[in-house]
Amino acid sequence: MKACETRLKTLAFELSYREQIYKRKTEMNPWLAETTSKRRDKLAIIAEILEIAKGGTLKTQIMYKANLSFAQLNEYLKFMLKINLIEKVENRGKDVYLATGKGINFLQRQCEITELLKGDNEHPKNGAKIPPPNLLRKV
């Protein structure tokens, strides 16, 4: 009987620990809190990069804030530079990435689409992923 109680306490502690870790992860990356799956789609990642680069930022800052690997980030930046969503500007010998007007327009339109997908009770329709509130603010 005592072994069973000890096992239950251990399981409760492990569950509490997992909840704390998940809470920490969602505080660092709000996209996780808004989706049912742990995977982000490409448009969500592009929007997140644009939000980070709105004021101009370094590649490493984008990588850490968007939670991307170096290889993933390079692919996204290459694509976004090619279609002019961001621009690379040299500032004091460092490459700074800045969202262009086209990129800001993309963020605004994504915000509008997200608002259309929301239902009456603020839950997404058809299981659509809704970006976190910090990406929904008007630009």
- Higher-pLDDT residue of 74 and 129 is 74
Please, which residues have CB within 8 angstroms of residue 80's CB and are 6 or more apart in sequence?
46, 49, 50, 86, 103
Whether the CB-CB separation of 128 and 116 falls below 8 Å is answered with: no
pLDDT digit string (tens) for 18-36? 566 666 655 555 554 555 5
* Fold for the domain defined by 37-136: Arc Repressor Mutant, subunit A (1.10.10)
pLDDT (mean) for 104-128:
75
* % of the chain at pLDDT higher than 90: 46
Whether the CB-CB separation of 58 and 96 falls below 8 Å is answered with: yes
Task: Say whether pTM exceeds 0.85.
Answer: no
pLDDT digit string (tens) for 92-103? 999 999 999 999
User: Residue ranges per domain, the chain?
Assistant: 1-34, 37-136
